[in-house]
Chains A and B, each alone.
Chain A
Amino acid sequence: MNTELPDIKLIGDELPWLKEYRAAGRREFAGQGIPTAKTEAWKYTKPNRFLSMDFIFNPRGGDKLAIPEVNLPFVAYKIYFENGVFISCDDDLPDNIEVLPLIEALMFRPELKNKTGSLADITKYPFAALNAAYLNEGVYIHVKAGVRPDKPIALINHVTAAVRPELYNLHHIVEIDKGASVELVEYYGYTGAPKSSYLVNVVNEIYVAANAALRHYKLQDEAFKAGHLALNAVNVAANGLYKSFCLQKGADLSRNETQVCLAEEGATAEVDAAYIMNGWATLDTTTDIEHLVPHTNSSQLVKGVIGGQAKGVFQGKIRIASNAVKTEGCQLHKAMLLSDEAEIDVKPELEIFADDVKCSHGAACGRLDADQLFYLRSRGIPEAEAKQILIDAYLNDVMAKVDDENIRSWIKLSQGNPLPA
């Protein structure tokens, strides 16, 4: 992939700020390049395999696409994308929830200028710069003050046969106003061409206002040669709550990075994740929780099961600013290796500049317990089934972090089997 991106004519270029923002994205991406093993933030996940691939960026083409057949086993306000292109949004949305295609929102809501790229720093994240260079697709979701919708909002990106390696660039801006409480589901899947080597590059900028709550669930189930890179940049105001859970189980190289800024007193972040893989993939969960003010809390639980020749990566950072006393941050990562060639790399980091804080992190790495396996086997349970029971039990506590029962059972059903067939 050439880091010198061509200047493609896109809708919205007539707005000077947007044209400049895209140009800045191109400049930054060319300047930073694709990270290598020497880039500390990408020490274990090496996206340099993208270097050899020639991704094609295809802005909204001529064909009008049909609504893809994706069935989610729970009710939701669904927003569909196919191959990174906005298709449709359920029309039963209540008036107090606004959903607009991003480019439309940027053109008609001048106030969104300040909300674009203000959380996702393109000077720091090279793939956010790539995203900015082709800023075009995505949605703007605005949940008005005090609204508590009866159903979750679901963002679905569905990839159909991609013959050539294509780049799907998505940028969502989500605003949750004061006192509102919403569930947001992201689902990335594919049909047809499991061997497609496409790249999905998502940036979410999420603003949680005072006393508001966002529960953010994500299931990444891309095709096994695909790339998936996501940056969730979140700002939480006073007494706000951002709670997220992400299960990564697909793609060849996948990174889900969550950067939360606890900007006002009483803000809370709960960032949980799981990853399950049996293949060759690298699955990366990266978090960066910044406590800027006193009385903020964060907790993280990440669990992984890795088999085959796959690699699991966890990089978690808790940062506490110098005046942010009376804060609590805790983090726990646990991983299980199932095969001889699997690999786990972990880097939990604490950066603390205040004394009156309680911070902890833990990391553990192990395998299936032989005694437990023996116990089940001695009761007549076949080996494969016994292993599956133990893995399900192992992941049970992190799955329990999903508050919504229907979504939890959907995620559990899709978790798949990390054991070799």
Chain B
Amino acid sequence: MTEKNHIAITDESGDKYKYGFVTAIEADTVSAGLNADIIRLISRKKGEPDWLLDWRLKAFEFWQGMKEPSWAKLKYDKIDYQSLSYYSAPKQKTAPKSLDEVDKTLLETYDKLGIPLKEQEVLAGVVAVDAVFDSVSVATTYRAKLAEKGVIFCSISEAVREHPGLVQKYLGSVVPYTDNFFACLNSAVFTDGSFVYIPKGVKCPMELSTYFRINARNTGQFERTLIIADDDSYVSYLEGCTAPQRDENQLHAAIVEIVVLNNAEVKYSTVQNWYPGDKDGKGGVYNFVTKRAACRGEKAKVSWTQVETGSAVTWKYPSCVLQGDNSSGEFYSVAITNNRQQADTGTKMIHIGKNTTSKIISKGISAGFSNQTYRGLVKVTPGADNARNYTQCDSLLIGTACGSHTVPYVENRNKTAQLEHEATTSKISDEQLFYCRQRGIGEEEAVSLIVNGFCKEVMQHLPMEFAIEAAKLINISLEGSVG
């Protein structure tokens, strides 16, 4: 059932998408198709316990009865779920003990991506990285230092083996497999992802980071991240994504589950830069992601920050379920679409506990022939006394052929709730542009200056290194959209 794949190096880095190279690495890829046997095979390869296999099979059975959702403002070719391969792993003889044992080509790839895994062991870096290549996690840095504090940061397969109690307790408790079509598919076939546990009272000493990369052809990437912040703990988590340039579409259907207990705080930042397809909309990643955080404890706090510049199609609604009293959720988003990209993204804030607060700041920029939708829900249940929400969605349109849409839902069942929603749509003002041009700034540069100013409110919530990268990405994404 397995086959060896040798992929030629086809580095087309002349183009704007600088991550569009393919790494020639021997991969262990399962043949295409999706059935119960494939799921058993994935589970066996990963040496999983029976309860997890049963759970996967249940999810698969449920998935077969589900219909792909069509409510989003997205147009894409029908995905043939049987033509995809659901497992691809870089070949390794035995599990590496340290980074030195990890395949050199792989490490070079990460260097190209700007993730200095290797150096990190030596240099006084501040970020611990878990890198996921195609389907499996290949390396996690800084384990020892984290272990000192009792922080568990490893791949989810490893967590299943070593911390089965924690995984079994929380896996699927925020996003059950019955949640939606893509989450259900992920539950059946997820191959790897990151697992984080921050013990009681621990402030994680460094930022944790995961890099995802799809390398092999015709594979889908289904990673699953589970973060548990125990009482009085804090963690900041970063996520980055890239994929090679390919003519065909690649599927990415991930799940992120976050459990936040009493007084804990989780900050989750994403820079999503999957391959967006070429200027005519050929190729690119289909990104269908379910992200949800449950504030289970009192005064729990979650903050989602995302910069979405990649993917041909994005379908993503990072949500907060505010169960604990006085808990709070935040969502800061910048989404940029150019050429033929489509994004339908937003958030859900479900207020259940008393005195819960949420804040949504969403900035959308559409250029070229792209279409973008903000879709959000603010829901206040009858018991959520004194709930407070503030939502602001601003859209900027660049060019006459793009579209920008706003679809917010507000459902209020408590009279003490105070909810506000504002949205505006406009273009870059001629006055601002004129002002910059008059001072000798080129048109393209002026546009990127204005756009960066427009996004500033969100960008300031990103950790430093990410903020710089994100600002650069915005400029790259908008190249060619002016004049």
A residues at B contact (CB < 8 Å): 40, 44, 322-323, 325, 335, 337-367
Contact = CB atoms under 8 A, between A and B. Distances in A.
Interface stretch (B102-110, B171-179, B326-334, B422-430): B422-430
B372 to A, nearest CB: 10
Contacts of A361: 406, 421-423
Given A40-B71, A322-B400, A360 B405 contact: no
B31 interface: no
B357 to A, nearest CB: 14
Contact of A344 (B401, B410, B416): B410
A365 B402 contact: no
A173 B413 CA distance: 39
A367 B385 CA distance: 12
B81 interface: no
Nearest to A360: B424
B403 A352 contact: yes
Given A322-B401, A344-B412, A347-B407, A355 B417 contact: no
B34 to A, nearest CB: 27
Contacts of A345: 409-412
Contacts of A360: 422-425
Interface in B375-424: 382, 395, 397-424
A365 to B, nearest CB: 4
Contact of B422 (A40, A338, A344, A362): A362
Nearest to B405: A351
A236 to B, nearest CB: 22
Contact of B404 (A44, A352, A363): A352
A120 B411 CA distance: 29
Contacts of B423: 348, 350, 360-362
Contacts of B399: 355
Given A352-B405, A355-B398, A366 B418 contact: yes
B407 A349 contact: yes
Interface of B: 71, 382, 395, 397-427
Q: Ordered nearest first, which 7 A-B pairs have the shortest CB separation?
A: A337-B415, A355-B397, A346-B410, A365-B419, A363-B421, A350-B406, A355-B427
Nearest to B409: A347
Given A325-B400, A354-B397, A355-B427, A363 B410 contact: yes
Contacts of A337: 412, 414-415, 417
Contacts of A322: 400-401, 403
A352 B397 contact: yes
Contacts of A351: 403, 405
Given A351-B403, A355-B427, A365 B412 contact: yes
Contacts of B404: 350, 352
A125 to B, nearest CB: 19
A357 B398 CA distance: 11
B412 A356 contact: no
A353 B427 contact: no
A352 B407 CA distance: 11
A360 B423 CA distance: 5
A367 B426 contact: no
A340 B380 CA distance: 12
Contacts of B413: 341-344
Given A322-B403, A348-B406, A350-B404, 11 more contacts: A337-B417, A341-B413, A344-B410, A344-B411, A348-B408, A350-B406, A352-B395, A352-B403, A361-B422, A364-B421, A367-B415
Contacts of A339: 415
Q: Taking each of A352, A357, A359, A362, which has the highest tally of chain B beta carbons within 10 Å of its own beta carbon?
A: A352
A350 B382 contact: no
B415 A356 contact: no
Contacts of A342: 413, 415
B325 to A, nearest CB: 18
B395 A365 contact: no
Q: Taking each of B403, B415, B418, B421, which has the highest tally of chain A beta carbons within 10 Å of its own beta carbon?
A: B415
A357 B426 contact: yes
Given A347-B408, A352-B405, A362 B425 contact: no
Contacts of B411: 44, 343-346
B410 A350 contact: no
Nearest to B377: A347
Nearest to B385: A340
Contacts of A362: 420-423
